[in-house]
Structure 1
Amino acid sequence: MKIIVTGSLGNISKPLTEILVKNGHEVTVISSKAEKKNAIAALGAKAAIGSFEDIKFLTETFKGADAVYVMEANDVSQFFNPEFDAIAYNIQIAKNYKEAIAASGVEKVIHLSCIGGHTDKGVGLVALHHGAETALNELPANVQIKFMRPVGFYYNLLQFIPAIKGHGMIFANYGGDEKEPMAAVQDIADTIAEEFDKPFTGRTVQYIASDEVSMKDVAKEIGKAIGIPDMPWVQVPDQDFYNTLLGFGMSPQGAHAFTELNTARRTGLMYEDYINHKPQLGKVKIADYAKEFAAIYNHQ
């Protein structure tokens, strides 16, 4: 099968490409950086250098493909720009994909969405995924789409390294004893790769999760791995968290998007649809990821 992968050599796209190539597929990886060509070739894939803002480029790249994997990517630096609207920007990228898919004739699509993609109300930054799904759902009925909704990524825990090193704790405006689903990149890539080899039928939604664990237990597992066995997870008020993000230089709308996202985790709004469609959990548990976290932590 000829498959187009967006996302360059990102956290999911790289292992996904490796698996697809290993499974015998002919893979083309889209990247905006020409210097990634050699690294993409080293994986056994072809590189297509261009921008997902360029509909003509996307259309030409998609032509002749049996299936495409599309995703929207956020550059953290953009959240420090008060004039940048991450939600609107990423929804526009999804609209670009929609136009390119329609024009190229591709009929099999896998879209990387996210937990919370069932709504655009009260979920902060995640609203972009609902908007992206809505845009892609406007494609003709002959285009079959699998919307993949992974839950919170383990690697997002890396953002807490400065707080751990500075204060010996993790703090956020969510957490506690309630279990939440989390996912490993490898489990996400494995699941998506498997879906390319399964039948495509209409429009489907699938959640991806590796473990369900409380944030207090997350702190304990990570703490054990880095030598702080009693490390606490401290839940702070929304306003305090918002002000902290502003203090880091984040734009007001960026700080609001992340604060509201975390609030939706705390209230359970983020997990309303997930609860009714729970997937089989993957292989990588939080204790496994804690070792990876520790390796990164100890080299920073």
Structure 2
Amino acid sequence: MKIVVTGSLGNISKPLATELIEKGHQVTVVSSTQERKAAIEALGATAAIGTMEDTDFLTQTFTGADVLYVMETLAGNAFFDHNVDVIEATTQIGRNYKEAIERSGVKKVVHLSSIGADTGPGLLRFHYNVENILRELPADVFIKFMRPVGFYYVMYQFIPMIKQQGAIYSSDGGDRKTPWVSPLDIAAVIAEEIEKPFEGRPIRYIASDEISPNDIARIFGEAIGKPDLQWIQISDEQMMDGLITAGMKPETAEGYVAMNVGVRDGSLYDDFYKHKPVLGKVKLIDFAKDFAAAYNQNQ
């Protein structure tokens, strides 16, 4: 099949493209960075260089594809750019995808959404928005909505906190387990869904492990040689102040804290547990090795 993969050579898109190519599919990888072209071609894929803001580029790239894998992403510093409305900017990418899908005539789409897309709390609002925008497409466009839980690699943000403050601080905490996911397991599920028949607009949740904040601190502490590492729960107000002090736009920080409220009280996972998936292969203890390697860099 001819498959278009958005997301450049990111944590999900690179292993996804690699697996699809190994299975004999013709893969085009979309990237906004010309410097990625050689690396994309080295995988055996075709590089399409352009932006998710350019609907003409997207339409041209999508045309002729059998299946699209689409995801929304912003520049790495977007959460700290005070000129960016993160929710609106990402929602606009969803509008661009909708237009390009209609114009290109593609009928099979796999969309990377998220836990929380059913209610859209805090920063997750854009996932709610984009899912509903894509649902406005004609009924003969089949869409599989993938809803992964929190990504392991988000926890890399704990590294400077541990080094500077000696602990993990967050407005959630304790012994209640919550689900997390490896990008490798997400890629594997998406590759599976691309090859399965398309019909309607199903939703599939993706998770790798269920583990509590206290256990995360214990596992990371053992991995980095700090067995007494603790996860310390702070108030929403303290969390907000810390994010703003770190340079995050206040409105973005407010959305982040609102999302964490759903993590803390469990409401974020209500629909997940109604449709709980089989957990993937990559457990947190596996990711802890990568976390430790990153932690020990430049020691």
TM-score normalised by the chain length of structure 1: 0.98
Per the alignment, residue 280 of structure 2 pairs with: 282
Runs of 4+ in structure 1 over 4 Å off: none
Cα displacement (A) at 1:254:
1.3
- Name which of 150, 159, 162 aligns with 1:161: 159
Cα displacement (A) at 1:132:
0.6
**In structure 1, distance between residues paired with 2:118 and 2:34:** 36
Per the alignment, residue 39 of structure 2 pairs with: 39
1:137-185 Cα shifts (integer Å, max 9, x gaps): 0000000000000000011000010111112210111121110000011
- Name which of 236, 240, 243 aligns with 1:242: 240
Per the alignment, residue 231 of structure 1 pairs with: 229
Q: Is the 8 A contact 1:183 1:208 kept in 2?
A: yes
Cα displacement (A) at 1:74:
3.0
Per the alignment, residue 125 of structure 2 pairs with: 127
**In structure 2, distance between residues paired with 1:44 and 1:174:** 43
AA of the residue aligned to 2:16? L
Per the alignment, residue 198 of structure 1 pairs with: 196
2:141 maps to 1:143? yes
**In structure 2, distance between residues paired with 1:83 and 1:63:** 33
Q: Which moved more, 1:274-283 or 1:249-258?
A: 249-258
Per the alignment, residue 60 of structure 2 pairs with: 60
1:192-251 Cα shifts (integer Å, max 9, x gaps): 111111111100100000001101101100110000112110010000000001111111
**In structure 2, distance between residues paired with 1:76 and 1:235:** 26
AA of the residue aligned to 2:117? G
**In structure 2, distance between residues paired with 1:299 and 1:83:** 32
Per the alignment, residue 113 of structure 2 pairs with: 113
Cα displacement (A) at 1:261:
1.2
Q: Please provide the CA RMSD for this pair.
A: 0.9
**In structure 1, distance between residues paired with 2:52 and 2:80:** 22
TM-score normalised by the chain length of structure 2: 0.98
Unaligned runs of 5+ in 2: none
Q: Is the 8 A contact 1:91 1:131 kept in 2?
A: yes
Aligned length in residues: 298
Q: Is the 8 A contact 1:3 1:65 kept in 2?
A: yes
AA of the residue aligned to 1:36? R
SS in 2 for 1:203: coil
Unaligned runs of 5+ in 1: none
AA of the residue aligned to 2:45? A
SS in 2 for 1:97: helix
1:27-78 Cα shifts (integer Å, max 9, x gaps): 0011111111100001110000111101111001100000100000133412
Per the alignment, residue 183 of structure 2 pairs with: 185
Per the alignment, residue 2 of structure 1 pairs with: 2
AA of the residue aligned to 1:260? A
Q: Is the 8 A contact 1:168 1:228 kept in 2?
A: no
Per the alignment, residue 217 of structure 1 pairs with: 215
